[in-house]
Amino acid sequence: MITRIPAVLYRGGTSKGPLFLAADLPDDPGGTLDQVLLAAMGSPHPRQIDGLGGAESLTSKTAIISKSARPDADVDYLFAQVNPNSPIVDYASNCGNMLSAVGPFAIEQGLVAASSPTTTVRIYNINTDAVIIAELQTPHGQPTYDGAAAIDGVSGTAAPVRLNFARTTGSKTKKLLPTDKVREVIDGVEVTLIDVAVPMMIVHAADLGKTGHETKAELDADPLLIARLEEMRNEAGHRMGLGDTSDLVVPKPVLVARPRQGGVIASRDFVPYNCHATHSVTGSMALSTACVLPGTVAVDLAVLPGGQVKTIIIEHPSGVIEIEVEASGSTPADFQLRQASLIRTCRKLFEGMVCIPSRVWAGKAAAARNAA
């Protein structure tokens, strides 16, 4: 017997995965919901051969959407990172790339009424207790996926989706600087621990014997580096009040260096057990904020542009990602983040039913009958 669950498969930014309506899934993260998502994605298996997953973290993502009861949001978004190689479903962080698909999905599922030529969708991310504002292209009151916007890491062009993360300061820790320090020492290395959209540990690549311009393959082939970063980020997690983070993707470790391609800073973003092929959106928000926050280790290396609104160009293994940042304050104590936004694109790839074994979950109707 099989259980059929409605889903829409999207490419969101440089990530990919199915979007579900919350009403079509179990509502118990950590319980049956985990087993459903593992079965849908084909985990644990290195190639996820028995599911929709694409055999790496960037293509093993899921999003669960519902209409929001909050006055400041239109929809609620629960992000679930499914680990390809282990039976772990991680709800600890947000995914800004998949976030770009939430607005179009919500409109097409009837959760949000569209206007023309654009629609603003206020998205409450359950994982981080924060609201992100998405502006979509909706000519004639319908989402469009065609357009001229291009992002590195994705071939071709598509309609732009602007995401503003200015209201995500303290996403997990409720503080911009969770330890109240702009820099500190972990394992003999100076780091900055910051929380904007995602908790992050920023490290000079040179302090770990790297240039910060290595390819993903070169960094992934260095097990000593991966192991040291893991030890450091787990210590950072304890200091940031996140507890045991050994099974979580946060805090996010990032290596930074001076730019070489005309950008503001070079970054190698870890996810966390291997290097990101491009750069996470949430990680770009934290790093770009650190570039304009006085005293951070990122400021040591950043080549900042002028102007009140600064375009922070982060060089990554596949190109660049650009974030518009506006902030005020000359010290960490009076620092305020007014804007942190960027352009992403998304594309709807497939819509239909995800089929899982009924022994994993028999569906909503059967659950209701059992409850009665």
Q: Report the C-alpha gap between 334 and 319 in whole angstroms.
A: 33
Residue 293, phi then psi, degrees to nearest 5: -95, 115
Inside any domain, residue 106: yes
Residues 111, 32, single domain; the answer is: yes
Supply φ then ψ for residue 225, to 5 degrees: -65, -45
Whether a cis peptide bond, with omega within 30° of 0, leads into 26 is no
Do 219 and 287 belong together in one domain?
yes
* 166 domain residue, yes or no: no
Helices 281-292, 96-108: axis angle to 10 degrees equals 120
Same domain for 90 and 43: yes
pLDDT tens track for 193-244: 999 999 999 999 999 999 999 999 999 999 999 999 999 999 999 999 999 9
> Residue 65: enclosing H or E segment and its boundaries?
strand 61-67
177 within a domain of the structure (yes/no): no
Task: Tell me, yes or no, whether 167 lies in a domain.
Answer: no
Model confidence pLDDT, tens digit, residues 51-97: 999 999 999 999 999 999 999 999 999 999 999 999 999 998 899 99
One domain for residues 79 and 223: no
Determine, yes or no, domain membership for 297: yes
Same domain, 151 and 23: yes
| 94, 34: one domain | yes
pLDDT digits (tens, 9 = 90+) for 1-44: 999 999 999 999 999 999 999 999 999 999 999 999 999 999 99
Q: Are 134 and 121 in contact (CB under 8 A)?
A: yes
Residue matched to tokens 């070489």: 260
Q: Is-contact 285 97, C-beta < 8 A?
A: no
> Has residue 178 been placed in a domain?
no
Give a yes or no: residue 179 inside a domain. no
CATH of the domain at 240: 3.10.310.10
CA nearest to 63, candidates 132, 9, 112, 107: 9
Within this chain, do residues 154 and 128 fall inside the same structural domain, yes or no?
yes
Q: Distance between CA atoms of 147 and 25, rounded to whole angstroms?
A: 33
353 with 335, same domain: the answer is no
Residue 136 sits in the same domain as residue 263: no
pLDDT band at 367 (very low <50, low <70, confident <90, very high): low
Count of structural domains, the chain: 2
Domain that holds residue 256: 184-340
Indicate if 138 and 223 belong to the same structural domain. Answer: no
Same domain, 212 and 287: yes
Mean per-residue pLDDT of the chain: 96
